[in-house]
Every structure is written in structure tokens, then in C-alpha cells.
Amino acid sequence: MIAVDAGSNQISVLRIRHDGSLRLVQDGVVSSGGSTPVSVAAHDGLVYVANAGSADSNYTGFTLSEGGHLRPIADSTVTLPGNAQPGDVLFDATGTNLIGTRVGTSQIDSFSVGSDGRLTAAPGSPFAAQAAGPFGSEFSPTDPRQLFVSNAHAGAVNGTVSAFRVASDGTLSSIGASPFADQQTAPCWVEITHDGQFLFTVNTASGSISRYSIAPDGTLKLLGSTPVSSQAGVGAVDARLSADGQTLYVDESRVASVGEFTVDGGQLTEFGSVSLPAGATPAGVAVR
């Protein structure tokens, strides 16, 4: 597992034991190549981190060895404006395209990934986002050319989710009537069911999870929203599906707990939560 350490400008690599516990890899902590790393993407032995600090904002690449050791890739750093405030970075399923969201300037970076691990900006990149504050992003697990991005900063009940088609050179084009209304506030994180038919987005300021169906062409249809019950759900952030796709785990950062929802197609039902140590302020969740 790879974790970004925003407070120390580092990246840590941890080994997952059979019982689920974690152990830091020897010499597994390295500089992120910038300041305030906030997101990390990995595909096979290639890793990119988004550094959001205004003085040293960038995307920087690393190779990851089988033993869990990171090595910086020479000349891989893509410098960003100080006000870019990158929020998310991710590879598509093939590892040939990399996407990054710029929350601060409402833009989306798109790159093709070379055989040497270095990035080439797509024609027209960065692309203007379709609404303010593009934040969370996710590729369809069944169609790697479909990209979905939540837009978090358009104001109360004005959240949206954008749908894009990604060309082989990384060029983004809008799908249908994108962006699609969320009718909630601050949709920040996106998760898609393993069959590619439904999308969930966590609305941090509304305390809810919006549910969409995904048409074969990538068009979204809002099905409704499900409240997160803990502390009225305000402060819920990241969400991830279990390996079998039957449970959605939600990081309820404000109250230091993880909410559990059963998944039935595009329907969600909350059935419990697990408390974390007092004082914990988790910023993300990963499910193996």
C-alpha cells in the first residue's frame, strides 16, 4: 500500500500482511518531490503523486520495485501553477493515460504515459472543467475511455458530476448533457460499481451519497441520494467498494468512523459503522 504523508512531504510504502495489518517497508519513506502530497496513483510498477503545496505544486513519477521501494523517475516532474491545488490523480485501467484534477483553477490535466514512465500532455490540456472545483475522479471499470469527475465548488445544492470520453491521445470530450446535476452540496469522491452500471458520489457538505445509473455511452441518470446517518453525515469523505461489490465503505472523517452500506444495484442501505481511535481524522479509505 502506498500512502501520501501531506505533513512531511513524503510517500510511504507499507506491506499488507495476511491478517490485514500493515508494516512499513524498510527504507519505504521517500520525498514526494514537492510539498503537501494529496493523492497517489499506481499502475504495475509506475507511481505518480500529486503535490498540492503552492510553493512546489506538481505531478512527480516514481518506479516501484517488487520489494516495495520507490525510485524517482528523472525528468518526470510536471510543474503546476501555485494556485492549481491538485485534488486527485489516477491512471486508466491500461496505464496509458493519467488524469489529474486542478481544484483551484477548475481544470483537468490529461496525459499520455510513455514507455519510460514520463508524461506527455494531451492536445488542449489542461481542459476547462464543466463546473467549479473538479475534485474526485474515476474511470469506468468496464470502459477505460469513460472518465467521471465530481465538481464540488459550485455552491449549495449545485453539485454536479461530469462525464468525458478520453481519446487515445488523452483528449477529453464531453458525453451527452454533461455535467449531470447532483442536487446536493460538495460532491467530492466518486466510486463506480464493478460492473460499470452505477456511480456513487459522496456529498461532504450535504451528508449524503448520490446514486446514478450509467448508460453504455457514459450518460448519467440521477437515481436519488442516500443519507449518511452518523452526525447527519456532514464530513463524510472518501468511499470504496468491497472486492465483491456488495458493500460500500464510507470514510466518516468528522466523527472518526467508517460507515457500511449494502449495495443492491443502484440502491444503498446503511447497516452499521466502525469507530476509529479517538482523535483520528482519516482522509481516505482503501479496500483490498
Cα 158 from Cα 239, distance rounded (Å): 21
Residue 219 lies in a domain: yes
Instruction: Give which of 110, 137, 147, 105 is closest to 125, Cα–Cα.
Output: 110
What CATH number did the domain enclosing 122 receive? 2.130.10.10
Q: Per the structure, how many domains does the chain have?
A: 1
Residue 49 lies in a domain: no
Residue 191 lies in a domain: yes
pLDDT band with cut points at 50, 70 and 90 for residue 236: confident
Read off the pLDDT of residues 160-183 as tens digits, 9 standing for 90 and up. Answer: 999 999 999 999 999 999 999 999
The whole-number pLDDT of residue 20 equals 85
C-alpha cell at 65: 520495485
Residue 65 lies in a domain: no
Cα 220 from Cα 96, distance rounded (Å): 25
The whole-number pLDDT of residue 154 equals 87
User: Helix, strand, or coil here: 253?
Assistant: helix
The whole-number pLDDT of residue 282 equals 60
Q: What domain range includes position 241? A: 85-275
C-alpha cell at 163: 462525464
Element (H, E) at 204: none
Q: Are 138 and 124 within 8 A, CB to CB?
A: no
Residue 149 has pLDDT above 80, yes or no: yes
Residue 25 lies in a domain: no
Residues above pLDDT 70, as percent of the chain: 92
Residue 69 lies in a domain: no
Read off the pLDDT of residues 78-121 as tens digits, 9 standing for 90 and up. Answer: 999 999 999 999 999 999 999 999 999 999 999 999 999 999 99
Residue 255 lies in a domain: yes
Q: Are 62 and 69 within 8 A, CB to CB?
A: no
Q: Are 165 and 157 within 8 A, CB to CB?
A: no
Residue 189 lies in a domain: yes
Dihedral sign, Cα of residue 108, residue 113, residue 117, residue 121: negative
pTM recorded for the entire structure? 0.93
